[in-house]
Amino acid sequence: MSRSEELFQNAQKVIPGGVNSPVRAFKSVGGIPPFIRSGKGGMITDVDGRDYVDYVGSWGPLIVGHAHPTVVEAIRKAAENGCSFGAPTEGETLLAQRIIDRFPGMEMVRLVNSGTEAVMSAVRLARAATGRDLLVKFEGCYHGHADGLLVAAGSGAATFGVPTSPGITRATARDTLVLPYNDLEAVEAMWSLRGEEIAAVIVEPVAGNMGCVLPVPGFLAGLRRMCDQYGSLLIFDEVMTGLRVAHGGAQTLFDIHPDLTTLGKVIGGGLPVGAYGGPKSLMEQIAPSGPVYQAGTLSGNPLAVAAGLATLDLLDAPGVYANLEAKTRYLTKGLSQVMCAKNIPCVINQAGSMFGLFFTEAQAITNFAEVSKCNVTRFNQWFHGMLQEGIYLAPSAFEAGFVSLAHDESLLDLTLTMAERVAEKMHT
């Protein structure tokens, strides 16, 4: 029995499913998850001493790689002064200003502890500001595990959401409407029916929780137009895309300015953090400036703030985003050539340093219905084949992959060499 197997057995006795976040359990792909001991640069090492090229990167935040010396030193220095105070620190203001400088339309920011908390708070603010109850989200977009967002679509474009987890009341789910991603006609139909009741629409401008799906031309602009027409707010969930796809997130990449933005992942450099922000007219409605209550003892934690500031410093170097995109393009182009050479049909999407690989006969992947028709069995073969060859990918056909600054040409070439081996086995 491997050390990972032993640890997984022990973990299942004291932690539900043996993991503290469901996808880590490998339920969708099968097998035993490797327990990770350490990471350095673009590599991770498990407790059995196996090395992997890592394209998960803690699900996105490690854009400069594991244990970057600058980030580690920033955390060390912050820890020497104390890990938490529950009181204001200078670093919080510095990080808030750095975020505001990057994102158009952001005039104020509130730091929180996670992406889920950021989204939950932004939705509460939107409802308070508009005096309306209804929220629109899109099928396949994940916005954390807050009750009102764990819903799935019913039949038809105008159907109220229904709970997808026990413990969520139908009354809560009824305030969330679910539409197909990239379907502007469905959006227009919904607003024509219930536009005066809709507080906000929340969207991943690039969907990263169904395997990296980009918005079709006109979709995001259409959301902006419908919100303006009916007085609803547009919320961009950039927890994953913010600082991943561009210097100022997807909103600068596509030149669409939301009313509120939620952030996480990269702004904490790998430590738990989140944020939401927008114009002063909205943000000053948050307590203690206004009546909309939101609080958190560890919000603006000095260790997370220090790691975030250090990471932003590294990302501000000239040419960083062009470099990241070029690395990712090199990888995705190489993977496409490998699959084509072995007659394995697939679609590979890319946005900045995010990518997604879909095993499908389709020519394009633009929504969750199309993702759901992809060959999951073939993905599982691909995943385990790559894992065996030392390439660590997300253990789900519905998750994006991430390239970091630490993925140099040698690691990318190694990945493509291993991909050829795995594709050959899949082909035969």
Check for a shared fold between 3-67+319-427 and 69-315: no
Question: What pLDDT was estimated at residue 167?
Answer: 83
- What is the band of 155 on the pLDDT scale with cuts at 50, 70, 90? very low
Instruction: Map residue 385 onto helix, strand or coil.
Output: helix
Q: Is the pLDDT of residue 408 over 80?
A: yes
DSSP 285: T
**Once rounded to an integer, what is the mean pLDDT over residues 5-27?**
95
Query: What number of other Cβ atoms are within 10 A of residue 112's Cβ?
Result: 27
Number of H-type helices and E-type strands within the chain: 14, 16
3-state SS, residue 37: strand
The predicted model gives 273-282 an average pLDDT of: 98
Rounded CA separation 88/367 (Å): 43
On whether the CB atoms of residues 34 and 48 are closer than 8 A, the answer is yes
Q: What is the pLDDT of residue 158?
A: 33
152: confidence class by pLDDT, cuts 50, 70, 90: low
pLDDT of residue 168: 78
Looking at the predicted structure, is the pLDDT value of residue 156 above 50? no
Mean pLDDT in the chain? 94
Quickly state the pLDDT bin for 162 (edges 50, 70, 90).
low
pLDDT tens digits for range 72-85: 999 999 999 999 99
Q: Who's near 222: CB < 8 A, 6+ residues apart?
A: 184, 187, 188
Question: Residues 228-273: pLDDT tens digits?
Answer: 999 999 999 999 999 999 999 999 999 999 999 999 989 999 999 9
Question: What integer is the mean pLDDT of 54-60?
Answer: 97
Mean pLDDT to the nearest integer, 199-222:
97
Query: Is the predicted pLDDT of residue 428 greater than 80, yes or no?
Result: no
Active-site amino acid positions: 142, 237, 265
The two structure tokens encoding residue 414: 């190694």
The string of DSSP codes covering 175-216 is TEEEEETT-HHHHHHHHHHHGGGEEEEEE-SSB-SSS-BPPP
Give the model's pLDDT for residue 76.
98
What pLDDT does 349 receive? 98
Q: Quick check: pTM over 0.85? A: yes
Note the CATH number of domain 3-67+319-427: 3.90.1150.10
The answer on pLDDT for 146 being more than 90 is no
Residue ranges of domains in the chain = 3-67+319-427, 69-315
Q: How far apart are CA 187 and CA 192, in angstroms?
A: 9
Rounded-to-integer distance, Cα 223 and Cα 234, Å: 7
pLDDT at 166: 80
Q: Across-strand partners of 180?
A: 139
Is the domain covering 69-315 a CATH 3.50.50.60 domain? no
Say if residues 278 and 302 touch (Cβ distance below 8 Å). Answer: no
pLDDT, mean of residues 16-21: 94
Cβ-Cβ contacts under 8 Å for 191 (sequence gap 6 or more): 198, 226, 229, 230, 232
Torsion angle (degrees, nearest 10) of CA 321, 326, 332, 337: 170
Please tell me the predicted confidence (pLDDT) of residue 163: 66
CA distance linking residue 418 with residue 331, whole number of Å? 12
In angstroms, the CA 330 to CA 408 distance is 11
